[in-house]
């Protein structure tokens, strides 16, 4: 769906801020946008990995012969800390001498586990990082975009934000919340000239997935079947296309695209199949 009330952005002259920009989807997207000539600013918690990511993108160069290095800035901040994140965004806008034209909220955390065994702290952490980390960033840049009458805000949700999945009782609701936030924000910001998008990636081959796999219940693994994770680069390419085409729903693969479009029909069928797989696992492990 193309949003007619927004004007496509010229990425080559845009200032892009990416949360979670030191690895995974955020870093891959930052690379693509820098290669298009954008000024790129990265935000992540780990300062050392963040500096390495900024240096890598910077030395890759730009399509402009007059610029041998991409314009890249970075700030370490925890997206769950509203004050620190808002300050980091303001400092990056000042350093790049340009307000944020495109925001991509890729910072996130996934901690699967059995509902009855997860601590309250895990549920709280998922909401604070995945949902409030998105909300704080959007609220920091949206007023300026509305005032200028242009901009693009893209939040990374998850396939788990489209369908409840065994083992994701803490993570899934946070990603559903991101989806709901962006649907509401889209309704308000689109008439003001701001493009709003939300991304629904399935499993993606990133350091975050490797950490997540340490905690996955066997039922969650079986529900996922033998589907191979996407590369971060494939998801990044879908995000950039979504910005170019002013799309709200951004799905990097056919499975999530079908689920986003035909969820009311597919969800009961998928739940039936997932329940069958879960029962098979639990029959084979009586102590589960």
Catalytic residue of the set 22, 158, 175, 216: 175
Question: Would residue 131 show up in a list of annotated catalytic residues for this protein?
Answer: no
User: For 195, left (φ over 0), alpha (ψ -120 to 50), or beta?
Assistant: beta
Nearest 5 degrees, angle CA 280-CA 281-CA 282?
95
Evaluate whether 100 touches 89 at the Cβ level (below 8 Å): yes
Catalytic residue of the set 41, 58, 171, 216: 171
Question: Would residue 157 show up in a list of annotated catalytic residues for this protein?
Answer: yes
Give CB contacts under 8 A, 24+ apart, made by 96-99.
Answer: 96/15, 96/39, 96/41, 96/71, 98/15, 98/39, 99/15, 99/141, 99/144, 99/148
Question: Would residue 234 show up in a list of annotated catalytic residues for this protein?
Answer: no
Count CB atoms within 10 A of the CB of residue 82: 17
Distance set, CA 47 to CA 28, 100, 251, 272, 284 (Å): 18, 21, 30, 45, 45
Count CB atoms within 10 A of the CB of residue 72: 22
Catalytic residue of the set 157, 158, 168, 216: 157
What is the set of active-site residues?
A: 157, 171, 175
């Amino acid at each position: 769906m193309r949003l007619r009330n927004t004007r496509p952005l010229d990425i080559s002259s845009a200032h892009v801020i990416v949360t979670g920009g030191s690895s995974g989807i955020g870093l891959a997207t930052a690379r693509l946008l820098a290669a298009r000539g954008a000024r790129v600013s990265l935000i992540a918690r780990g300062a050392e990995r963040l500096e390495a990511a900024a240096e890598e993108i910077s030395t890759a160069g730009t399509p402009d012969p007059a610029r041998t290095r991409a314009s890249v800035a970075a700030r370490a901040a925890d997206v769950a800390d509203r004050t620190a994140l808002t300050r980091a965004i303001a400092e990056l806008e000042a350093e790049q001498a340009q307000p944020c034209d495109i925001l991509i909220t890729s910072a996130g955390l996934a901690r699967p586990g059995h509902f009855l065994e997860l601590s309250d702290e895990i549920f709280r952490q998922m909401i604070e990082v995945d949902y409030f980390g998105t909300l704080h960033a959007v609220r920091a840049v949206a007023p300026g975009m509305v005032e200028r009458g242009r901009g693009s805000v893209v939040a990374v949700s998850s396939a788990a934000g489209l369908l409840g999945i065994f083992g994701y009782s803490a993570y899934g609701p946070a990603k559903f919340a991101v989806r709901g936030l962006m649907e509401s924000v889209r309704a308000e910001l689109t008439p003001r000239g701001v493009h709003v998008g939300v991304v629904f990636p399935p499993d993606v081959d990133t350091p975050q997935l490797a950490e997540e796999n340490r905690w996955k219940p066997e039922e969650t693994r079986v529900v996922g079947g033998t589907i191979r994770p996407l590369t971060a680069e494939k998801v990044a390419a879908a995000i950039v296309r979504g910005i170019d085409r002013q799309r709200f729903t951004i799905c990097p693969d056919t499975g999530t695209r079908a689920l986003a479009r035909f969820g009311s029909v597919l969800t009961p069928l998928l739940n039936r199949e997932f329940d069958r797989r879960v029962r098979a696992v639990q029959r084979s492990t009586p102590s589960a």
